[in-house]
Chain A
Amino acid sequence: MGKKKSAFLLALYTLLIALLCFICVASFNYGENGMYTFSSILDLTKKDADLGAEYGANATYNGGGYSAVYYPEGVISAETYENELAGIADEAERAKYEAKYRAYQGGTLYLEVETACDEEGAVLESFASAFASAKEMFAARVARLNVDGARVSVRDDYTVEVFLPAMMENEYYALSRLVFTGELSIRYGTSEDAATDAFSIKRGETVADYVKSVSSAAGGGTHYLAVHFTDAGREAIAKATASAGSTDSESGTSTTNYLYFYVGDTAILSLTIGEPVADDLYISGSYTGETANVTAILLDSAIQGGTNDLSFTAGDALQIPAGYGENALMWLYISYGVVFVAMMAFFFVRYRALAFAQLYTYLLFTACTLLCVWAIPFLYLSVETYVAFLFTSLMLSAGNAMTFEAARKEYALGKTYASSVKTGYKKCLWKLIDLHIVVVVFAFLVYAIALPGIQTAAFVMGLTAVFSGLGVLLFNRFTWAMMAALSKKSGKLGNFKREEIEDE
């Protein structure tokens, strides 16, 4: 490579890396009165429920999550009880209200007599078992979300606390929808009030005899729900919706018909039906991947629901800071800085100016990793993904050091600089390929089988192992070649020395 060409390419490469570093880490306000904000990739990257800190141009808190408490019918919080009681002026009404509830666990909760407890305040067995099955259902729903950090807890024996990480795009939607309990029913009619059960479920049957499952899927950039009917369900829905799209022969007008999906007494979604439904239903709308998944989970679990299920109300929502402390993310960045400085110090001491080849490759590797973690929807920053990144960044650094050492050995034997680099790379090639293939295969298989967060870490490990392989075998070689072309004494570039042979 000629000197001018090398200098030009190196300058271009330097600019590219500087630009990548800038967009990855710099956040600032600009415009009149700082009206606009430029957010860095690092700022925009999702963080799991365990990492968080106040940072970015506007120092907003990133990380952690939200929790909400689900209260079953017949159970209210002490705060609600006291507020409602304080709002009743009439003495007789107050006494009536007081008689309606019994304090539970020293007044943490108030249970409604006959719904949740008896006159003495003892919890009814029927209520306790209904609550236990509702709790199982909530846990199953949240588990099916497959979100790292999502959690379901029983609070004070008879309420359910659900925690979802803030990295979800639709955590409010999830918390507000997953609370609905009861049986799935599909109703058909010209309005919500006039709609009747589409299946006309007979005694001894349940909706499960008509609806097999509800799932979510994506195709062509659109997320949708798929409602799968049994044979009986397909027949029943075709019969029920036979009038859809027909025109009144006398007036010549057509009526709009709707299909309503209920969970318990709550209408979850309504569809305009233009023609009879003869097969499985595919419902698209303004769904995102998350909202489609939440709705599918809700409707699918409601197939197993019953008319006697306890109904719940959501309340007491709080923002919970990150699990590893409020500034864990900042300390994570600092740890990266320390490791980076130590690694570069080693390379500069041992390889002098050649360490710039490692610096360029490493920065490119880091920037590409960050861009991917930001751009790939299911990836996010967590301690697990950070460990995976550290693992492959060690592979990259060790790989580069290995090629440098191999070239150094060849140079010491008396070969020319170019020949040493070439032979050094040739000797390391299959070793590096084998190492990277083994890690990539292992990581992607773990990704394919595991669930978040090991899954996310495994994907990051596989992806960055690919970057590491490309970095060592391609980009490091490229930078080295450009730098060698610019160097006056090539041997000095990597602190390479000839082997001294003593004359007899």
Chain B
Amino acid sequence: MNKRSKLFAVWLAVSAAVIIAGIVLFALLGFNTSPDRMAGKTVDIRYNIVVELSDAHKETLRSASENAFAANGVSYEEALTLEGQADPTSNTQTSFYPTGNDFTLRYVFEESVSAEALQAAADDIRTAVAEAQFESGAEVSVSVHTLAAERFSEPLWRAAVGIAVGVVVALVYTGIRFGIGCALTGLTAAVHDVLLTLAFFAVTRVPVYAFAPWLYAAIAAAASLCLWLVRCMKLREQAKDPALSALSAGEAVGETCRTTDKAVLALAGAALGILAVCAACLFAGGGAIVLAGALVPVAAAAYSAMLFAPALHTRVKAGFDKVNAKRTRHPSAKARKRGE
């Protein structure tokens, strides 16, 4: 038996520990979906004037707002410049258009930021605006808002069902082409990789968008299927080779790993490299979180394809080989009849 197969108990223990911890923490806390900002506060500074607001005045509003937040000890997560649009009240109009006389500065805060501090900052902004010399007729309104988003659960459970069905059917095909043993190991490895990925995010509390865990689960399942298929192809080749077909399960899996490790590592490495480059490019925006998170399912699939699945398959193959040997020694009445 090869070394990685001998250490099956270790791989199983590591995976089980992470997955069980993940399930417990998910049940207690769920994922850390803070990037979705399901709840938060905003301060809107809305400047309404029929003539265009000069850049100098926009800057005045910005600096007045930022000074007020600093003075009141609050810091914002994001500052947005928003353009006012036609209110959706017409039954005949078909699309939005900028009103051209609305300029809104929106500062987004975490839910935990004190509403009193924000109200105090809003008062300071109003005072600063009153002191500034803006065009006559200009109206500046400063408002503090609290937001609580509604969660849509249907897309999440349907994604989970979709991934499960996709994996099972893809492995039925694998079973037909490469044998039931390969399909069973592949299914276990895919489920393992999906759970390991989800558990990682539940345990580490790494911030993710609400949809992201299911995207990662899909990536884990697809990567797991592809990497395991590389092993399956070699296993079948070996089974057809008279020189290798007589090998024991441990030797056969060991030989397969020896010849396919390079390909598996190259594929997983390339995938990790591509995702790392993309995450680095998107570092300035929130997209980096999504892409950096996608490294986890690929890493989980690589771990599984390198260590967990071969070790598991040694046992699965040994079991199937045993059954086949038994069948050869004691053929069923049907098989005997066929033989006659």
Contacts and interface: CB of A to CB of B under 8 A. Distances in A.
A439 B222 contact: yes
Contacts of B284: 325, 327-328, 331
B173 interface: yes
A222 interface: no
Given A66-B96, A450-B158, A106 B144 contact: yes
Interface centre among B147, B214, B222 (most CB of A within 10 A): B222
Given A170-B94, A387-B215, A445-B162, A438 B225 contact: yes
Contact of A143 (B89, B149, B154, B290): B154
Interface residues of B, number: 80
Contact of B162 (A135, A386, A448, A453): A448
Interface in A130-152: 135, 139, 142-143, 151-152
Nearest to A453: B211
Interface stretch (B59-67, B127-135, B275-283, B314-322): B275-283
Interface string B256-296: 00000000001100110111011011111111001100100
Contact of A398 (B98, B219, B270, B282): B270
B93 interface: yes
B222 A461 contact: yes
A53 B211 CA distance: 22
A447 B87 CA distance: 35
Nearest to B85: A317
A47 B282 CA distance: 16
Given A153-B147, A342-B277, A314 B46 contact: no
Contacts of B287: 50-51, 324-325, 328, 331-332, 383
Interface in B122-141: 139, 141
Contacts of B158: 449-451
Interface in A59-85: 66, 68, 77-79, 82-83
A494 interface: no
B242 interface: no
Contacts of A265: none
Interface centre among B91, B104, B174, B278 (most CB of A within 10 A): B278
A437 B173 contact: yes
Interface in A80-135: 82-83, 105-106, 108, 135
Contact of B159 (A151, A316, A441, A454): A454
B201 to A, nearest CB: 16
A29 interface: no
Contacts of B54: none
Nearest to B266: A398
B271 to A, nearest CB: 6
Nearest to B89: A314
Interface string B191-229: 000000000000000000001001100110111011001
A155 B162 CA distance: 34
Nearest to A405: B263
B286 A325 contact: yes
A12 interface: no
A167 B174 CA distance: 39
A334 interface: yes
Contact of A331 (B86, B225, B267, B281): B281
B170 A441 contact: yes
Contact of B145 (A143, A155, A331): A155
B211 A454 contact: yes
B90 A176 contact: yes
A323 B286 contact: yes
Interface string A306-343: 00000001111111111111011001101110110010
Interface string B15-54: 0000000000000000000000000000000100000000
Interface stretch (A205-213, A388-396, A414-422, A471-479): A388-396
Given A450-B159, A453-B211, A135 B170 contact: no
Contacts of A450: 155, 158-159, 161-163, 214
Interface string B147-167: 111101011001101110111
Contact of A156 (B146, B177, B294): B146
B82 A320 contact: yes
B80 A321 contact: yes
A200 to B, nearest CB: 28
A79 B233 CA distance: 69
B251 interface: no
Contacts of B278: 332, 335-336, 339, 386, 390
Contacts of B271: 391, 394
A383 B166 contact: no
A154 interface: yes
A78 B141 contact: yes
Nearest to A402: B263
A442 B167 contact: yes
B101 interface: no
A276 interface: no
A261 B236 CA distance: 65
A392 B283 CA distance: 23
A434 interface: yes
Nearest to B285: A325
Range of interface residues on chain A?
A: 35 or more
B154 A176 contact: no
A324 B286 contact: yes
A172 B94 contact: yes
A332 B275 CA distance: 11
Contact of A153 (B90, B104, B148, B155): B148
B84 A152 contact: no
A438 B221 contact: no
Given A79-B46, A448-B162, A319 B229 contact: no
A292 interface: no
A236 interface: no
Nearest to A152: B150
Contacts of A332: 278, 281-282, 287
B206 to A, nearest CB: 16
Contact of A314 (B88, B163, B266, B282): B88
A441 B162 contact: no
Contacts of B104: 318
Given A156-B145, A314-B89, A450-B158, A395 B226 contact: yes
B85 A441 contact: no
Interface in A433-470: 434-435, 437-439, 441-443, 445-455, 457-458, 461
Given A394-B271, A457-B215, A319 B163 contact: no
B169 A445 contact: yes
Interface string A334-369: 111011001000000000000000000000000000
B72 interface: no
B143 interface: yes
B222 A319 contact: no
B328 interface: no
A435 B229 contact: yes
Contacts of B165: 445-446, 449
13 contacts: A50-B287, A108-B144, A170-B95, A175-B88, A324-B285, A325-B287, A332-B281, A339-B274, A387-B294, A391-B271, A442-B170, A446-B162, A449-B161
Interface of A: 50-51, 66, 68, 77-79, 82-83, 105-106, 108, 135, 139, 142-143, 151-157, 161, 170-173, 175-176, 179, 313-325, 327-328, 331-332, 334-336, 338-339, 342, 383-384, 386-387, 390-391, 394-395, 397-398, 431, 434-435, 437-439, 441-443, 445-455, 457-458, 461
